[in-house]
């Protein structure tokens, strides 16, 4: 009933209307969504000089998305072990998957219309993935966990994620790394060693540590992809 009421009284603001059409809920704090679709290249600053972009919301949305997908998988596969659940979650939330989801939901169009693109081109894969996570972060702050869970489950997982197909793919280096660590009794973790600014783009340099020793490094505009590269580089040596 609430969704029908919301649609009958659709907001006039184009972004607010887009959020309503996408989620079924009227945005309470439109500023959150405007920030979510503001890429770091826009270089907006507040009166205090603080750079306003979607990176903080991206950080939050990443954690929320991980939690929601983990809960969905935990309930969907009650007899699968931790390694399987970790691998499946990684396949759902990696940059390639989030880029495709963002395009199917029209997130990339919102990013272009709000933040613009200095080169007049469509957003890159990493920009789309980051915007998707930032949007989830904004929606969580605006609507709470329950509605965020239902949105991700109803509009993303049930419609855009094919778990049977994902189980047939084996392209996730991080999930393979988890399995390797379990087999060999090793501890693993990733650390951002540095960030490098190249023009308008910022690159993450991520170190992979095995038993607290740096064994490989990955670099990418997206932190998760940098982790994937570091894991892939190490596995090529460890399994080769």
Distance CA 131, CA 115 (A): 11
Give DSSP secondary structure letters for 22-87: HHSS--S-HHHHHHHT--GGG-EE-TTS-EESSHHHHHHHHHHHHHHHHHHHHHH-TT--HHHHHH
Q: Where do the domains of the chain lie?
A: 2-168, 173-238
Overall average pLDDT of the 21-43 stretch: 87
Q: Please state the rounded mean pLDDT for residues 179-192.
A: 92
Tell me how far CA of residue 147 lies from CA of 9, 140, 203, in angstroms.
Answer: 20, 8, 33
Is 133 a known active-site residue? yes
Mean pLDDT of the region 210-227: 89
User: Is pLDDT above 90 for 237?
Assistant: no
CA nearest neighbour of 176 among 97, 219, 231, 214: 231
- Among 3-7, 119-123, 151-155, the range of highest mean pLDDT: 151-155
**Which listed residue (58, 62, 87, 130) is catalytic?**
62
pLDDT at residue 147, as a whole number: 97
129 backbone dihedrals φ, ψ, rounded to 5°: -65, -45
Of 50-59, 145-154, 212-221, the poorest mean pLDDT is in 50-59
The pLDDT assigned to 119 comes to 41
Residue 221 pLDDT = 81
Protein fold of 2-168: Ribonuclease iii, N-terminal Endonuclease Domain; Chain A (1.10.1520)
Could you tell me the pLDDT band of residue 27, with boundaries at 50, 70 and 90? very high
CA 209 to each of CA 191, 192, 195, 205: distance values in angstroms, whole numbers, following the listed order: 8, 11, 18, 13
Q: Give the C-alpha distances (Å, rounded to integers) separating 101 from 66, 126, 130, 226.
A: 15, 12, 12, 20
Q: Average of pLDDT values for 139-152?
A: 97
Determine whether 62 is an active site residue. yes
Report helix, strand or coil for 182: helix
Ranked by mean pLDDT, which of 51-55, 73-77, 167-171, 197-201 comes out on top? 73-77
Out of 58, 130, 133, 220, the active site residue is 133
The count of residues in the chain is: 240
Residue 219, φ and ψ in degrees, nearest 5: -135, 130
3-state secondary structure of 129: helix
Least confident of 19-28, 209-218, 228-237: 228-237
Per-residue pLDDT at 4: 52
Lowest-confidence pick of 38-47, 169-178, 185-194, 228-237: 38-47
Cα(180)–Cα(40) distance, rounded to whole angstroms? 36
Average pLDDT on 162-174 reads: 77
Return the CATH number of 173-238, one of 3.40.50.1380, 3.40.190.10, 2.40.50.140, 3.30.160.20: 3.30.160.20
2-11, 37-46, 122-131, 156-165: least confident range: 2-11
């Amino acid at each position: 009933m609430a969704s029908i009421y919301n649609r009958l009284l659709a907001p006039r603001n184009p972004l607010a209307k887009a959020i309503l059409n996408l989620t079924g809920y009227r945005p309470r704090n439109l500023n959150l969504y405007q920030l979510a679709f503001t890429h770091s290249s826009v270089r907006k600053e507040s009166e205090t000089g603080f750079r306003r972009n979607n990176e903080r919301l991206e950080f939050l949305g990443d954690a929320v998305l991980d939690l929601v997908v983990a809960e969905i998988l935990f309930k969907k596969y009650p007899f699968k072990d931790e390694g399987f659940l970790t691998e499946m979650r990684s396949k759902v939330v990696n940059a390639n998957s989030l880029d495709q989801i963002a395009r199917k939901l029209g997130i990339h169009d919102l990013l272009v219309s709000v933040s613009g693109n200095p080169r007049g081109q469509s957003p890159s894969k990493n920009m789309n993935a980051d915007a998707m996570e930032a949007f989830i972060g904004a929606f969580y702050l605006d609507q709470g966990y329950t509605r965020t869970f239902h949105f991700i489950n109803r509009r993303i997982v049930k419609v855009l994620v094919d778990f049977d197909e994902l189980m047939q793919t084996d392209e996730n280096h991080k999930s393979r790394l988890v399995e390797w660590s379990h087999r060999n009794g090793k501890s693993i973790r990733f650390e951002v060693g540095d960030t490098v600014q190249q023009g308008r783009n910022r690159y993450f340099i991520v170190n992979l540590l095995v038993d607290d020793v740096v064994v490989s490094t990955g670099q990418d505009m997206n932190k998760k992809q940098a982790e994937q590269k570091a894991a892939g580089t190490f596995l090529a040596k460890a399994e080769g």
